[in-house]
């Protein structure tokens, strides 16, 4: 019913498409966003969702005789303290409290926000305890799944951008790997030099992100899908007139953002702030953030559809290293840690699991399966695992793990989820060359 | 007058109990009869003071602990390992002078070669400002390896190792390199790592009230001290066709100092094998630069009465923290190790504050520094560290002993001991806390 009311106010055409696609998706997709949010509300945090994996993820055995010999792994940082989300809701609620305008729940929320704020104080960019465990668990899982690559003669080379959340994630992973196998050569490094291929900037593409048409469509989208904040504000404040004097929508948005970046805290008795929102409100808040991520890092045609190419250099690195390592006769692991946004664009550029989808219809994203927490959550990664029979194998294979799970590439293969390296290389090189022709670079 | 007498009396009274605990004579220097110039002749990098590389071959000799006492806890503060220079501006002074001289065709053949070297160095350093180098990583790994092999009891079984770093990336990388080494040597260790803004107040405290800049009077003394040591006409003649004319573009003193630094810094980097710039300088040149730098470090970071004389107290929070954490760890059965990774601007004043090896020296005569062994290069090269190794018979032993290793060598403290280089923890604790209390009282009164 609420959808129908909004339709009257807004763009009928786009909404109809969205509803149609949404209904189709309900029928066709095994797990909808709503299902996934219900099973783990933390997913509403999108790119701030801290990835968890099942104890034993599914691993398809490689074709006969093929053994893993190289892992190239581009990862997001683990769960870390984010800045900027604490002061505004705290101040709004404090002011209201000093005027006696908060309900009991409102005062409890103020207490929780104050605790969260003091926990975060001077910790921006630092890993949370959950983040440290996550980095170690994910490294251990990698070793358990691919023990052949972590052998006595292996070389593990970890690199990070010069940013503490990434550096610390690398450190936790490297220490865990060092503890899990001896002897093992493990080296870590971080340098501004690595930005060229680990966190490249493309000012031209970045400028497109703020395209006025895209921003207008985004504003329209968020207005149509804005949650009804009256329920929450009525629950928090005891004076309707006072609520009218503040920016209630902004406060609700801020509380949601704060819930997203404090999802693993235990300072408020294991409860973050998700309990303030109904499932539908959470879903609608998530839609806003998901659309924003798609415009900035995905194949959104409102911004030209080329944003993922901002991360063409990491893809070059994946292709180049895949060839270089072939000549070595010992296993190699390359662990690379960079920003979530880099991994997200890289996934879209590689079109893994269909996330390269291009559309100008923000309403269709959910139905198309483009959900930020599935693509680049905290601790998420793209891992290319290379297989061969021996050093002279003319037909090495590669398997991609996206966030620890086997993923599809847009390339034909007779042994999925394994792909022939030569096909993979050919496909992506063509794609990169085609784009380079439009940009006068490589 | 009465007021002055009262202050003097208070100071004397407050010093009395301290003096009773202090060693009667605090000899300086642990350099075993070698002079600074001897050391520089053997290792030119020593002249670059805080840019010196860690002396990675550490003598094995350690004094056995008193009967029945065994190591059970280590508390440590270490500087990051070798790194690239922090900022481009560190190289810009000599480089810009060379650019100007080259622009007016004033460079000799050697000068052109030097200019070309400088370009290679800048190219190598670009986008690596402040990065930990491979040498820096291996320094940390070696220090960790020696720590675990010298004190295996502290790192036995699943001992806890709590590592903490400042939030500066090269310190985090140093911590991680050390922890990876420990993890390889004993995979059962329970290792935790931390790098948080919330601990900067003691891990990397820079006290604005004790600012390390020279006050005008101190500057005058320093200028007088350095006047005869600056400049290098031999170098000018070697690099410039008309040294007298080129002085319009090239300040001889600055150029000499910064070019030497630039050359010596490379021993920390990927270009460590290239000693072309360093080879331009004689041992005497290097020695003079060391004197200039050593005096400045003393005035800014030591107990130099000419410049306020209190700078080492900037590390009072760190020292209190080290003491508090040790007190807490002593109460545990198996405390393990607490390792902290930070900076030389913390380590040097900390060493002075504690008075390790006589670095709490107070003098107004800069010429005395060398003779009395106040040699900063022996304190804070890249990778430098102070380790407090704690000993006891068993967890119920109330007489906990400890010794201090400065850069992994046994050091002396300014307190009495019947078993040096081992000291009674209770004595040290009392000595430090009194010293800090006295300073803080004085500081509060002066506000």
Name the minimum distance, in Å, from the CA of B158 to any CA of chain A: 12
Quick check: A178 and B169 CB within 8 A?
no
Instruction: Name the residue with higher pLDDT: B380 or A6.
Output: B380
State residue A26's pLDDT score.
41
Residue of B nearest to A196 (CA): B127
Nearest CB among A123, A162, A174 relative to B196 is that of: A123
The pLDDT of B275-286, averaged and rounded, is 94
Which of A125, A264, A136 minimizes the C-alpha distance to B166? A125
* Contact in structure between B363 and B352 (CB atoms under 8 Å): no
Q: B128 vs A191: CB contact, 8 Å cut-off?
A: yes
Q: Is residue A343 over pLDDT 80?
A: yes
The region of weakest confidence among B217-226, B265-274, B318-327 is B265-274
Residues of chain A with pLDDT > 70: what percent?
91
Per residue in A176-227, pLDDT tens?
A: 999 999 999 999 999 999 999 999 999 999 999 999 999 999 999 999 999 9
Residues whose CB falls within 8 Å of the CB of residue A13, separated by 6 or more in sequence, listed in order: none
Which of A162, A181, A200, A333 to mutate to test binding with chain B, by most B CBs within 10 Å of its CB?
A162
pLDDT at B2 over 60: no
The predicted structure's pLDDT at residue A188: 96
Nearest in space to B393 (alpha carbons), one of B158, B62, B147, B67: B67
Note whether ipTM > 0.85 here. Answer: yes
Contact B40, B353 (CB under 8 A): no
| Beta carbons within 8 Å of B49's beta carbon, 6+ residues apart | B290, B293, B294, B297, B376, B377, B380
Owner of token pair 């995905």: A298
Predicted pLDDT of residue A268: 64
Cβ-based neighbour number of residue A176 at 10 Å: 23
H helices of B126-230, in order, are 134-150, 169-185, 200-203, 216-227
Task: Say whether pLDDT at A15 is over 60.
Answer: no
Name which of B179, B187, B196 is nearest A182 (Cβ-Cβ). B187
Rounded CA-CA distance B282/B233 in Å is 12
Residue B88 has pLDDT above 50, yes or no: yes
| Chain A residues with beta carbon closer than 8 angstroms to that of B127 | 191-193, 195
Q: Do A79 and A378 contact (CB within 8 A), yes or no?
A: yes
User: Residue B210: what pLDDT?
Assistant: 86
Task: Check CB contact under 8 Å for B128 and A192.
Answer: yes
Query: Is residue A330 exposed (0-12), middle (13-18) or buried (19+ Cβ within 10 Å)?
Result: middle
Task: Give which of A217, A234, A51 is closest to A135, Cα–Cα.
Answer: A51
pLDDT for residue B338 is more than 90:
yes
Q: Which of residues 133-162 of A touch B (CB under 8 A)?
A: 162
Mean pLDDT along residues A245-261? 92
Mutation choice for B interface testing from A143, A168, A186, A187 by most B CBs within 10 A: A168
Q: What is the pLDDT of residues B98-156, one digit of tens each?
A: 999 999 999 999 999 999 999 999 999 999 999 999 999 999 999 999 999 999 999 99
CB-based contact A379:A76 (threshold 8 Å): yes
> What was the pLDDT predicted at B274?
83
- Separation CA A265–CA A48 (nearest Å): 13
Q: Which residues of B255-283 are buried (b: 16+ CB within 10 A; e: fewer)?
A: bbbbbbbbbbbbbbbebbebeebbebbee
Predicted confidence (pLDDT) at residue A318 exceeds the cutoff of 80? yes
pLDDT for the residue numbered B221? 96
Is the alpha carbon torsion for B419, B35, B376, B181 positive or negative? Answer: negative
The 3-state secondary structure of chain A reads: CHHHHHHHHCCHHHHHHHHHHHHHHHHHCCCCHHHHHHHCHHHHHHHHCECCCCCCCCCCCCCCCCEEEEEEEEECCCCECCCCCCHHHHHHHHHHHHCCCECHHHHHHHHHHHHHHHHHCCCCCCECHHHHHHHHHHHHHHHHHCHHHCCCCCEEEEEECCCHHHHHHHHHHHHHHHHHCCCCEEEEEECHHHHHHHCCCCHHHHHHCCCHHHHHHHHHHHHHCCCCCHHHHHHHECCHHHHHHCCHHHHHHHHHHHHHCCCCCCCCCCCCCHHHCCHHHHHHHHHHHHHHHHHHHCCCHHHCCCHHHHHHHHHHHHHHHHHHHHHCCCCEEEEEECCHHHHHHHHHHHCHHHCCCCCCCHHHCCCCCCCHHHHCCECCEEEEEEEECCCCCCCCEEEEEECCEECCCCCCCCECCEEEHHHHHHHHHHHHHHHHHHHCCC
CB B162 within 8 A of CB B338: yes
- Res. B215: pLDDT tops 80: yes
- Give A56's pLDDT tier (boundaries 50, 70, 90): confident
Minimum-distance CB partner of B129 among A183, A187, A192: A192
- Mean pLDDT score across all residues of chain B: 91
Place of tokens 């004689």: B282
Chain B contact set for A132 (CB, 8 A): 192-193
Among B38, B132, B47, smallest CA distance to B85 is for B132
Contact A368, A75 (CB under 8 A): no
Q: Does the pLDDT of residue A7 top 80, yes or no? A: no
Checking if the pLDDT of B7 tops 50, the result is: no
Torsion angles phi and psi, residue B91, rounded to 5:
-105, -10
Q: Do B131 and A191 lie within an 8 Å CB cutoff?
A: yes
Task: Decide if A192 and B131 are in contact by the 8 Å CB cutoff.
Answer: yes
Preferred mutation among A80, A117, A178, A335 to probe B, highest tally of B CBs within 10 A: A178
Q: What's the distance, CA A185 to chain centroid?
A: 30
Q: How far is B144 from chain A (nearest CA, A)?
A: 14
Residues in B closer than 8 angstroms to A136, CB to CB, are none
Nearest Cα to B51, choosing from B91, B84, B77?
B84
CA distances for B60 relative to A256, A437, B149, angstroms: 59, 63, 11
- Copy the structure tokens of residue B421: 């280089």
- For residue B404, the number of C-alpha atoms closer than 13 Å in the C-beta half-sphere is 24
Q: What is the pLDDT at residue B132?
A: 97
Q: Are B207 and B439 in contact (CB under 8 A)?
A: no
Pairing of strands B70-79, B336-342: parallel
| Chain B residue closest in CA terms to A183 | B184
Cis peptide before A417 (omega within 30 of 0): yes
Give mean pLDDT, residues A144-162.
96
Asked if pLDDT for residue A400 goes beyond 70, the answer is: yes
Beta strands A332-337; A67-75: pairing state: parallel
Q: How far is CA A54 from the centre of its chain?
A: 18
Which residues of chain A are within 8 Å of residue B140 when distances are taken between CB atoms?
A: none
Q: Identify whether the C-beta of residue A303 lies closer than 8 Å to the C-beta of residue A211.
A: yes
* HEC string for B45-109: HHHHHHHCCCCCCCCCCCCCCCCCCEEEEEEEEEECCCECCCCCHHHHHHHHHHHHHHHCCCECH
Percentage of residues in chain B having pLDDT higher than 70? 93
CB A164 within 8 A of CB B195: yes
A379, pLDDT greater than 50: yes
pLDDT value at A410 more than 70: yes
Q: Which of A8-22, A316-330, B317-331 has the lowest mean pLDDT?
A: A8-22
| Unique residue bearing structure tokens 């890993």 | A127
Instruction: Provide the shortest C-alpha distance from residue A61 to chain B (in Å).
Output: 30
What's the predicted TM-score (pTM) here? 0.91
Q: Which residues of A touch B194 (CB under 8 A)?
A: 126
Q: Is the pLDDT of residue B370 over 90?
A: yes
Helix axis angle, B2-21 relative to B425-445, nearest 10°? 170
Measuring CA to CA, which residue among A325, A328, A303, A299 is closest to residue A311?
A299
CATH 3.40.50.1240 intervals, chain B: 35-84+130-215+295-445
pLDDT above 70 for A119: yes
Whether A122 sits inside 8 A of B196 (CB atoms) is yes
CA pair distance A333, A325, nearest whole angstrom: 10
Can you give the length of chain B in residues?
447
pLDDT at B208: 85
Contact between chains at A184 and B184 (C-beta distance less than 8 A): yes
CB count within 10 Å of CB B437 equals 12
Closest CA to B86 of B118, B125, B45: B125
| CA-to-CA dists, residue B69 to B149, B161, B323, B389, angstroms | 18, 21, 20, 11
- Report the pLDDT value the prediction gives residue A271, as an integer from 0 to 100: 66
Q: Band the pLDDT of A6: cuts 50, 70, 90.
A: very low
Alpha-carbon distance values, B21 to A198, A326, B17, B361, B416 (Å) = 57, 67, 7, 17, 6
Q: Find the residue in B nearest to A119 (Cα).
A: B198
How far is it, in rounded angstroms, from Cα A226 to Cα B3? 72
Q: Which domains does chain A have, with CATH numbers?
A: 2-82+125-227+277-439 (3.40.50.1240)
Check CB contact of A121 with chain B, cutoff 8 Å.
yes
Is B35-84+130-215+295-445 assigned to CATH 3.40.50.1240?
A: yes
Whole-angstrom distance, CA of residue B423 vs CA of residue B405: 12
From chain A residues 194-233, the ones with a CB under 8 A of any chain B CB are: 195
Amino acid B162: pLDDT: 98
Contact predicate B350/B411, CB 8 Å:
no
Q: Which residues contact B336 (CB under 8 A, 6 or more apart)?
A: B73, B74, B154, B155, B159, B160, B161, B162, B189, B190, B329
Residue A270: the pLDDT is: 59
Give the span between the Cα atoms of B405 and B63, in whole angstroms: 11
Distances (CA, A) of A134 to A347, B81, B82, B191: 21, 28, 31, 15
| Cβ-proximal residues to B241 (8 Å cutoff; 6+ apart), any chain | B105, B106, B107, B108, B111
**HSE of A345, CA atoms in CB hemisphere, 13 A:** 26
């Amino acid at each position: 019913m609420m959808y129908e009311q909004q339709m009257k106010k807004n763009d009928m055409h786009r909404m109809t498409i969205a509803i149609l696609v949404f209904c189709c998706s309900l029928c066709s997709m095994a797990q909808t966003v709503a299902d996934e949010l219900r099973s783990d509300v933390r997913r509403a945090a999108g790119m701030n969702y801290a990835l968890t994996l099942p104890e034993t993820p599914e691993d398809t055995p490689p074709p006969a005789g093929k053994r893993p010999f190289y892992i190239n792994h581009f990862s997001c940082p683990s769960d870390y303290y984010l800045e900027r989300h604490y002061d505004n809701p705290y101040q709004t609620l404090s002011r209201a409290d000093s005027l006696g305008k908060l309900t009991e729940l409102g005062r409890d929320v103020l207490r929780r926000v104050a605790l969260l704020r003091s926990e975060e104080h001077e910790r921006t960019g630092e890993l949370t305890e959950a983040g440290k465990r996550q980095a170690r668990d994910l490294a251990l899982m990698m070793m358990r799944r691919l023990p052949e690559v972590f052998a006595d003669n292996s070389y593990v080379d970890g690199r990070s951008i010069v940013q503490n959340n990434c550096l610390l994630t690398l450190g936790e992973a490297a220490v865990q790997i060092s503890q899990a196998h001896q002897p093992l050569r493990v080296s870590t490094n971080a340098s501004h030099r690595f930005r060229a291929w680990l966190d490249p900037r493309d000012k031209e593409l970045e400028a497109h992100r703020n395209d006025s048409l895209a921003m207008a469509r985004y504003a329209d989208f968020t207005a149509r899908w804005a949650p009804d904040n009256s329920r929450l504000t009525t629950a928090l404040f005891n004076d309707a007139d006072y609520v009218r004097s503040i920016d209630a929508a902004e406060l609700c948005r801020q509380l949601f953002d704060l819930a997203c970046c404090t999802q693993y805290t235990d300072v408020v008795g294991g409860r973050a702030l998700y309990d303030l929102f109904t499932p539908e409100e959470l879903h609608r808040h998530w839609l806003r953030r998901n659309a924003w991520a798609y415009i900035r890092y995905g194949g959104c045609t409102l911004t030209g559809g080329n944003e993922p190419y901002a991360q063409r250099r990491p893809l070059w690195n994946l292709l180049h290293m895949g060839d270089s390592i072939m000549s070595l006769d010992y296993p190699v692991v390359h662990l690379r840690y960079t920003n979530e946004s880099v991994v997200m664009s890289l996934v879209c550029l590689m079109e893994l699991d269909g996330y390269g989808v291009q559309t100008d219809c923000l309403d269709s994203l959910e139905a198309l399966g483009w959900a930020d927490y599935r693509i680049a959550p905290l601790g998420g990664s793209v891992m290319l695992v290379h297989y061969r029979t021996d050093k002279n194998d003319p037909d090495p294979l590669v398997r991609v793990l996206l966030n620890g799970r086997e993923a599809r590439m847009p390339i034909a293969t007779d042994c999925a989820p394994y792909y022939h390296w030569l096909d993979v290389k050919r496909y992506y090189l063509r794609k990169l060359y085609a784009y380079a022709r439009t940009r006068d670079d490589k | 007058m009465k007021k002055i007498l009262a202050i003097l009396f208070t100071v004397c009274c407050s010093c009395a109990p301290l003096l009773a605990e202090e060693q009667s004579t605090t000899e300086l220097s642990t350099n075993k009869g070698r002079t600074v110039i001897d050391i520089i002749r053997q290792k030119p990098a020593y002249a670059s003071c805080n840019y010196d590389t860690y002396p990675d071959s550490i003598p094995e000799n350690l004094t056995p602990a008193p009967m029945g006492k065994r190591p059970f806890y280590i508390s440590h503060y270490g500087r990051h390992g070798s790194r690239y220079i922090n900022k481009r501006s560190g190289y810009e002074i000599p480089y810009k002078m060379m650019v100007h001289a080259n622009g007016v065709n004033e460079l000799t053949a050697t000068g052109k070669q030097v200019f070309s070297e400088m370009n290679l160095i800048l190219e190598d350093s670009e986008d690596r400002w402040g990065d930990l180098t491979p040498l820096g990583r291996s320094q940390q790994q070696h220090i960790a390896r020696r720590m675990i092999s010298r004190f295996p009891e502290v790192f036995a079984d699943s001992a806890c190792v709590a590592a903490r770093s400042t939030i500066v990336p090269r310190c985090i990388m140093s911590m991680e390199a050390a922890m990876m080494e420990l993890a390889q040597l004993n995979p059962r260790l329970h290792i935790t790592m931390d790098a948080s803004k919330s601990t900067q107040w003691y891990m990397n405290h820079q006290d604005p009230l004790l600012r390390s800049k020279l006050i005008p009077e101190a500057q005058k003394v320093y200028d007088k001290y350095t006047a005869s040591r600056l400049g290098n006409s031999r170098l000018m003649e070697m690099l410039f066709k008309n040294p007298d004319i080129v002085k319009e573009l090239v300040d001889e003193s600055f150029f000499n100092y910064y070019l030497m630094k630039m050359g010596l810094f490379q021993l920390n980097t990927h270009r460590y094998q290239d000693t072309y710039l360093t080879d331009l300088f004689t041992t005497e040149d290097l020695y003079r630069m060391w004197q200039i730098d050593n005096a400045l470090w003393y005035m800014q970071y030591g107990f130099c009465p000419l410049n306020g004389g209190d700078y080492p107290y900037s590390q009072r929070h760190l020292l209190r923290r080290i003491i508090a954490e040790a007190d807490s760890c002593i109460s545990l059965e198996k405390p393990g190790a607490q390792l902290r990774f930070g900076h030389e601007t913390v380590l040097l004043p900390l060493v002075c504050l504690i008075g390790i090896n006589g670095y709490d020296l107070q003098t107004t005569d800069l010429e005395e520094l060398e003779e009395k062994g106040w040699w900063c290069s022996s304190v804070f090269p890249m990778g430098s560290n102070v380790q407090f190794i704690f000993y006891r018979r068993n967890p119920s032993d109330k007489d906990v002993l400890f010794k201090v290793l400065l850069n992994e060598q046994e050091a002396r403290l300014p307190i009495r001991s019947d078993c040096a280089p081992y000291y009674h923890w209770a004595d040290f604790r009392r000595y430090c806390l009194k010293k800090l209390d006295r300073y803080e009282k004085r500081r509060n009164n002066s506000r």
